[in-house]
Amino acid sequence: MNRFEAVIFDMDGLLLDSERLELQAFNLACDQFELGDQVKVFERCVGANSVLRDLTLKEGFEGAVDFRKFRDAWEAEYAIITHERVIPLKAGAIDLLNAMQLKGMPVAVATSSSSDHAHSKLKLSGIYHYFDSIVGGDQVSESKPNPEIYLKAARELEILPIDCLALEDSPNGVRAAVSAGMTVVQIPDLVQPDEELLKLGHIVLGSLAAVLSHPF
């Protein structure tokens, strides 16, 4: 870890165990519109900001349902599921954040969620105070897999991208951080890396806890 000057975290599915709740809400919305199993569409939405998510839904459900109505139903189901609910942290999150704090290492979040949602989720989960910067998907013009959000997070920390460690769970996020020129660790959640993604040469670990002991 000593070779890095900063760590940049994704949030949903990486720090917060929220993607399962997102999938639950997605499936409930699919039931409303009698769409059947659409998990492949969901997987393409993972790691995307609201603009790319809408484009994915529009393409995936073209001719079957108005994507705007589906999106609204999905968001409504998710709001019901998460209302005043603390989203659980992923295993190893607190230990890793504490270790970064002890090292005095700058830490940021680069999430496709909106800034408001990111601040709210992190506060409810009790880890908001660890972060020097939080960059939401509404603060950039291009969604992951574009590197813009990671480059912005590095600028806000005043650290060169090459000196940053990026931690991600989704393929979209991995592509974004690799394109930004960072060392990337993927800790897969619901979507596993395929052969094409593994060609990027990033590191794949089983949990956040494994990051501390990995020989970078």
List, for residues 61-116, the tens digit of each pLDDT value.
998 999 999 999 999 998 898 876 788 999 999 999 999 999 999 999 999 999 99
Decide which of 125 and 48 is more confident: 125
Q: Are residues 146 and 107 in the same domain?
A: yes
d(CA 154, CA 106): 10
Contact between 2 and 213 under an 8 Å Cβ cutoff? The reply is no
Whether residue 190 sits in one domain with residue 98: yes
What residue numbers bound the domain in which 170 lies? 6-17+87-213
- The residues, ordered by sequence, that sit 6+ positions from 114 with a Cβ below 8 Å of its Cβ are 50, 136, 137, 138
Residue 1 lies in a domain: no
Same domain (yes/no): 182, 194? yes
Helix (H) or strand (E) holding 185: strand 183-186
Which of the listed residues 59, 82, 105 is the one where a domain comes to its end?
82
Burial class (CB in 10 A: 0-12, 13-18, 19+), 5: middle
- pLDDT tens digits, one per residue of 23-50: 999 999 999 999 999 999 999 998 888 8
**Rounded alpha-carbon distances, angstroms, from residue 50 to 53, 88, 208:** 5, 23, 26
Q: What is the CATH number of the domain that holds 179?
A: 3.40.50.1000
How many domains is the chain built from? 2
Looking at the structure, do residues 120 and 98 belong to the same domain, yes or no? yes
Both 45 and 99 in one domain: the answer is no
Over residues 139-183, the pLDDT tens digits come to 999 999 999 999 999 999 999 999 999 999 999 999 999 999 999
Rounded to two decimals, what is the model's pTM?
0.90
